[in-house]
Homo-oligomer: A and B are copies of this chain.
């Protein structure tokens, strides 16, 4: 499992002294983009192919706060994919995995540039195979 790491920026903190909770939804996107890129499914390449992948839902449970200077670690896995939708899970930690920060999920579908729902299996068989492979990996862990 790949782990995406990034430092918390000053502008991401709020006057409670901690990372504002809305930013974790952005960290999820960063980690998801990084994960797909490492797997050869660059999000920018998808967009060039005419595929956009909007977010259907997000959820995030906050366990411990982070703040400026902390390094956040985000372990991403693809936990569902059926050719039409996919779902990711995100385990966020700090201090080298020793402290749990948040647990989050996101669901996505696939649309053509014109906004029609894409059947990935038929329209993009290589992408379909790649995502199917990622799902198998996640299950076997």
Q: Which residues of A contact B (CB under 8 A)?
A: 9-11, 13-18, 20-23, 25-26, 29-30, 33, 42-44, 52, 54-62, 65, 67-69
Residues on the B chain within 8 Å of A61, using CB? 56-57
Residues on the B chain within 8 Å of A30, using CB? 9
Distance of A57 Cα from B42 Cα, bound (Å)? 30
Distance of A101 Cα from B9 Cα, bound (Å)? 22
A20 partner, pick from B11, B21, B44, B59, beta carbons under 8 A: B11
Most buried by B among A42, A59, A65, A67: A59
**Is B11 within 8 A of A13, CB to CB?**
no
Q: Nearest Cβ in chain B — how far from A39, in angstroms?
A: 16
Chain B, residue nearest A43 (CB) = B10
**Is A60 within 8 A of B58, CB to CB?**
yes
Distance of A100 Cα from B69 Cα, bound (Å)? 29
